[in-house]
Amino acid sequence: MKIQDHSSNNNISFTTIVGVDEHHVKELELVWPTWKRFKPELLQNPLLVVCDGSIPVSDWNCKLRFLDHPDMRRVQWEMPDCSQREKMLNGITFAVSNYVQTPWFLKLDTDTVATEEKRWIDPEWFSVNDQDEYPVFVSHPWGYTKPPEAIDILDRWAQQIPQLSGYNDLELHPEPGRDKVIHSRITSWCFFGRTEWAKDMLQCCPKRLPVPSHDTFFWYCAERQNRFYRKVRMTKHGWKHLGRYSSLKKHFQNQVSFEVAPKSSRGCGCGCKKKRASIETQAILPIDTQREQQGVVYLLCGTAHAVRMLTSIWSLRKHYSGPIIVYTIGDDSHKIGKNLASEPRLDVEHRQFPRVMRRKNAAFLNKLAILQDPPFDMTVYLDADTLVTGSIQELFELPEGCDMVATQFSNWTTQRKTIRKRINAWKEISLEGKTKRRIDRLVRKGLQTRPAINGGVFGLRRNAEIIPKWYDLALIGRKTFICDEIALQLLLHYHPHKLLDCRWNCSPIYAGKTKDVRIWHMHGSKHLRSQAINLWWPAYQEILGENLGQICDWTPAGDGRLEQYLAELDGLPLAETSN
C-alpha cells in the first residue's frame, strides 16, 4: 500500500490519545498542567481519552474535571478475559481505528512530563526519506523487546496474515537465559503514528493485539514490511518519561509550585462525595524543570571490583559532596550495594539494574544500557577501579553545544600499536551491505591520529545524541576487545565534545609521573602492581580502619588478586584466608 501524505510542512494535524483507569488518571492529573503550559499544540488539536469501561461514566465526570481541553472526546473501553494492562493497551491502540479522523495521532503515556516550551513538532520528522517514502510513525528509540518470546509470537502470527505473510520473519531471539531480546527499536511513550497505515495494520487483528504492547506491535509491523519510520529522541524536545507514579510525585515535590484550593467540606460539584480538601494541592507547572542536576554513577557487576569500588567512592567523597548512584547487576552485587547504601558516611543511592548482557563484554554493554537514560541532567561515570585524588568539577562543565566530556588515556594516541590493533579488529567483524561499509569507513577515520579515549571516566549530558549511537555501535562490535571503548573512539570525533587530558584518567602504569592527577585509573586489575600499590593500598587500609559498609565482613569479596596478596602477606594458604 502506498502511504499518502496528508500533512503540510507547516501544520501537522493529529489527535492526541491517552488512556486512563483508576491508577493512570492520577498520573494524568499531575502531568496535564505541564502539557498545557509547555505544549500548546495539544490544545489546538483533538484529544481522545480512552476510559476504563469498568468505571461508570458518572465517575469519570468527576475524575476528569481537571481536564480542560477545548476539543475533547471521552470513550469507554471494556475488554473481557484479560489483565488490566492488556485491556487498556488494546483500548489505546484500537481507538485509532474506531475514533481517529486526523492524518496523524499522538499517543502519550500519562507518566510523561512536559519540561519546557520549545519547538518540538519538527516538520522534517514527517517528510520523505531518500527513497521518497513517508514515515509510518515517529517515536523515541529503544534497545530491547520484553518479554523475550514476543517477537517469536509475532512471527508465527504474521505467517497467517495476508498483509504480512509475504515478508520474512524477523527471527530475533534472546540469548539463553535472557529475559529480553537486545536490538534496536522504538518505545511509544510519545508516539506519532500515521493513521492510514495504523488502521491498515489493525485490520490484521480486529479483536485483540497478538501481543499486549502498542509499540512492539507497530514496530514489528513496520520492520516486517520494511516500512520507513523515524527515531527521534523526544527527551531532546521538552519531554521526560518517568515511568511510574512514585517517580512523578517525587519529580513534582522537587520541582513544582502548587495551587492551593480553599479548604471546604463541600463536594466537588458533580454529585459525588469526594471532598475538595482531598484535592487541595494540585501541581500547576514546574518552576524550573531545567534545574541542572549533577551526579556520579558507578556500576558493579558481580563482586570482583566491589572492594575497589568502595575505595573509589570513599576517595571521591573527600573531593565531592553531590549525589552518587551505585548500580548493581546480579544477586551478589546487590548485597554489596545494600551494604554501601546503608553506610551513612558514603551517602550513596543503590539501584538494582536487570542484566541486559551476558558473556563477553557484558559489563561494558550493561554500562551503556544504563546510560541510555542517564539519572542526572549531567552524569559523570567512574569505573569501579578508579581512585579520586582531586576535584572532578571539570567533568561536569561543558561548553555550549557540547554533550560529552571525554578523557584521554595516559597521553596515548591512536598511533600506539595497542590502540591501532584494537581498532583494526573491527574490520574482521562479520557484516554485510551498508553496515559493513559504515564500519569500514569508521575504522578508516578512526585510525587517523587522535588522542586515545578511555571509557572508564567521562561525563554525559542528558539526551546527548551520542548516547544511543554509542550503544548501537558497541553492540555491533560486542565480540571485539573492550567494545564500548573502541566504539567511543570511532564515534567521538563526529560529536561536539570536551576532551580532558590524562590527569582525569591517569594510569599509574603508563603515566605514573604525571603531576596534579585528579583521577587514577587502576585499569585491568593493576591496583596491586608495584607502580600502583603505593597509591591504592593506603586508601584500602583506610576503609578497613573505618569498616565502611561493613567491609571487614566481606573483603576481599571476588577480588582474586587482593585475596592472593593478603594470603601472601599472612604467609597462609589461600583456602585459609578466603571468606
- Whether 184 shows a pLDDT value over 50: the answer reads yes
**What b/e string do you get for 277-294 counting C-beta neighbours within 10 Å, with b at 16 or more?**
eeeeebbebbeebeeebb
- Whether 357 shows a pLDDT value over 90: the answer reads no
- Whether 564 shows a pLDDT value over 80: the answer reads yes
How many other C-beta atoms are found inside a 10 Å radius of the C-beta of residue 501?
Answer: 16
pLDDT of residue 220: 96
β-strands 47-52, 404-413 pairing: unpaired
Q: Where are the alpha helices (DSSP H) in 167-244?
A: 195-202, 214-224
Domains and CATH numbers, the chain: 14-240 (3.90.550), 246-286 (no CATH), 294-521 (3.90.550.10)
pLDDT of residue 4: 43
Collect all residues with Cβ–Cβ distance below 8 Å to 375 and sequence separation of at least 6.
Answer: 295, 297, 325, 351
- Whether 83 shows a pLDDT value over 70: the answer reads yes
Tens digit of each residue's pLDDT (9 = 90 or more) over 133-153: 999 999 999 888 989 899 999
Tens digit of each residue's pLDDT (9 = 90 or more) over 92-136: 999 999 899 999 999 999 999 998 877 789 999 999 998 899 999
Tens digit of each residue's pLDDT (9 = 90 or more) over 408-439: 998 899 999 999 999 999 988 888 888 889 99
Confidence of residue 358 (pLDDT cuts 50, 70, 90): low
Tens digit of each residue's pLDDT (9 = 90 or more) over 283-292: 333 433 333 4
Residue 118, judged by CB atoms within 10 A of its CB (0-12, 13-18, 19+), counts as: exposed
Is the Cβ–Cβ distance between 80 and 99 less than 8 Å? no
pLDDT of residue 394: 94
* pLDDT: which is higher, 18 or 233: 18
User: How far is residue 282's CA from residue 100's CA, in Å, rounded to a whole number?
Assistant: 31
Which amino acid, one-letter code, is at 322?
Answer: G
Least confident range of 18-32, 454-468, 557-571? 557-571
β-strands 230-231, 137-145 pairing: parallel
User: What is the dihedral angle through the alpha carbons of 409, 412, 418, 419, rounded to the nearest 10 degrees?
Assistant: 80
- Whether 321 shows a pLDDT value over 70: the answer reads yes
Indicate the pTM of the whole model. Answer: 0.54
